[in-house]
Amino acid sequence: MHDAPATTPAAGSADPAMTGLDPRLGRVLLESRQRWRDLVGLAADFAFETDAAGRFSFVVPDPALGWPTALLLDQPAERLLADPSGGFDPFHPTVPLRGRHAWLRRADGTVACLAFSSAPLLGPKGEIVGARGLGIDVTEQSQAMAEAATALRRSGMVEHILARMRQEVLAPRMMHAVLEAVRGALGAEGAAVVGSSAEGPAILHQNGHGAEGVLDSAAVLVADPAATVRAAAAVAAGRPLLVSTCLTRFGERAGLAVWRPTGGRAWDIEEHLLVDAAGAIVRVVLEHQAIQREMARQARTDSLTALLNRRAFLEELPRHIDRLDREALPGTMIFVDLDNFKPVNDRFGHEVGDQVLCRTAALLRRTVRPTDLVARLGGDEFALWLNGADHMTAAERAESLRLGAPGELAEVIGAPRPRLSLSIGIATRRVGSAEDIDSVMRRADLAMFEVKRQGRGHWRVAPDLDA
């Protein structure tokens, strides 16, 4: 903008239009104009008139929005518009308007929102020869309203996500509902929960398409310590990506990732805030999932020895036997009972007795492979299932237990008496056998009972079912 001479007289100067008037009348008119200017300056943050060419012919106060009026007069009014290509233009009204908002540029480069009332100036023939108006600065109110509206929209989206989640009970279905709702709220191509596994970054849950393409970039953002503060954005294979890190109270580190299709627009600040809010919900679901996993583990695990309990052992056996049948392999059941366990409890107390049970569990774990099953059936009774093993292999394991158990268990009680040993019964389910689980367990139990009857501390193989 360039300097231009003011078209209104300075205070105290003679107005050419008043030449020839009675001096007293001229003075009254000047004072009246000054009062009008003062009142307009008090009532408005920006008042103007434009001519037929759309140039400022009058501006108050001085300065206006930080601009000296000398720089504005005779300049095109639209130069003050923050966005000349769109939005409301208060400087070219065709009819009187009130309370319309427009964004103008301040002298310092910032923008201000003004509520304008403006009207066209009409010539003798009704033609528009300019405009007149005034504006009130409502920038703070406008920003507050915008923030409130944004918060309200975000709250509505979060409530929608929570409503979808509450319809489910199991954590995986909860997570699916959350991701589906987040994806729909943001118009994203996909949403996923990214975590880690023994093999590296992993997609724990997903909804939509393209998760594999953003996995590596999302994993980097999840691993970034700064990403725990707020959602972080990146571009993965041309896809705008947004990740909110979720650090659960159980130490699990994962992240909610959402992405747009290749070439999609970048994420705005409101979407950052929404993904952060959704990330907090994802964290809750992850914690709920961890609790459900722990509850399931406890329901299947003996609390003292951490072995499978009877229920879990019986649930796992059919799956193992089905696989052995498909692969034409045998399987062997081993029943183990602690000898003289009651005298240990009576003499040393249950705390020492618990230590004996835990040491026995450790012995049995070392005896089998990770793919085999070990369970505490109750009290001092244990069971093992050896996949692919026949009675000869089982007998070798039983002999190792017979020889090693007494000395190791004596270390727990610190005395040679009572002598702790193991009575072991073995039953093999041969290849192609139609024998059910109950029958195999019954044969192993009978074999163990026979060892007990004949003096304990040994092992015995049950006769084949067809023998």
Beta strands 190-197; 421-429: pairing state = unpaired
Instruction: Report the C-alpha gap between 179 and 174 in whole angstroms.
Output: 9
pTM of the model: 0.52
Single-letter code of the amino acid located at 107: A
Query: How do residues 295-308 score in pLDDT, each as one tens digit?
Result: 888 889 999 999 99
Is the distance from CB of 325 to CB of 336 less than 8 angstroms? Answer: no
**Which residues are CB-contacts of 83 (< 8 A; sequence separation ≥ 6)?**
103
* pLDDT of res. 457: 94
pLDDT level of residue 467 (50, 70, 90 thresholds): low
- Of all residues in the chain, what percent carry a pLDDT higher than 90? 53
Going from the C-alpha of 125 to that of each of 122, 129, 261, 326, the distances in angstroms are 8, 10, 57, 100
* pLDDT of res. 1: 42
Query: How do residues 265-306 score in pLDDT, each as one tens digit?
Result: 888 888 888 888 888 889 988 998 888 888 888 889 999 999
Question: At how many degrees (to 10) do helices 171-186 and 139-166 cross?
Answer: 150
- H or E element at residue 373: strand 373-378
* pLDDT of res. 161: 77
Task: Tell me the domains of the chain and their CATH numbers.
Answer: 16-137 (3.30.450.20), 145-298 (3.30.450.40), 310-461 (3.30.70.270)
* pLDDT of res. 171: 76
230 compared with 98, residue with greater pLDDT: 98
* pLDDT of res. 139: 82
Where does 244-336 have alpha helices with state H? 269-300, 310-326
- Is the pLDDT confidence value at 331 over 90? yes
CA-derived radius of gyration, the chain: 42
* Average pLDDT of every residue of the chain: 86
* pLDDT of res. 80: 93
* pLDDT of res. 12: 37
Query: How do residues 13-43 score in pLDDT, each as one tens digit?
Result: 445 445 555 676 666 666 666 666 666 666 6
H helix count then E strand count, the chain: 11, 15
* pLDDT of res. 196: 83
pLDDT level of residue 153 (50, 70, 90 thresholds): low
| Residues 29-50: b if buried by 16+ CB within 10 A, e if exposed | ebeeeeeebeebbeebbbbbbb
Across the beta sheet with 381-387, the strand order is 373-378, 381-387, 331-339, 421-429, 459-461
- Is the pLDDT confidence value at 148 over 70? no
17 half-sphere exposure, CB direction, 13 A CA radius: 6
Instruction: Report the C-alpha gap between 401 and 421 in whole angstroms.
Output: 9
Instruction: Report the C-alpha gap between 461 and 450 in whole angstroms.
Output: 10
pLDDT level of residue 11 (50, 70, 90 thresholds): very low
Query: How do residues 340-383 score in pLDDT, each as one tens digit?
Result: 999 999 999 999 999 999 999 999 999 999 999 999 999 999 99
Query: How do residues 183-234 score in pLDDT, each as one tens digit?
Result: 888 888 999 999 987 788 999 999 998 999 999 999 998 887 765 556 788 8
- Is the pLDDT confidence value at 170 over 50? yes
* pLDDT of res. 44: 83
DSSP assigned state of 81:
B
Is the distance from CB of 243 to CB of 280 less than 8 angstroms? Answer: no
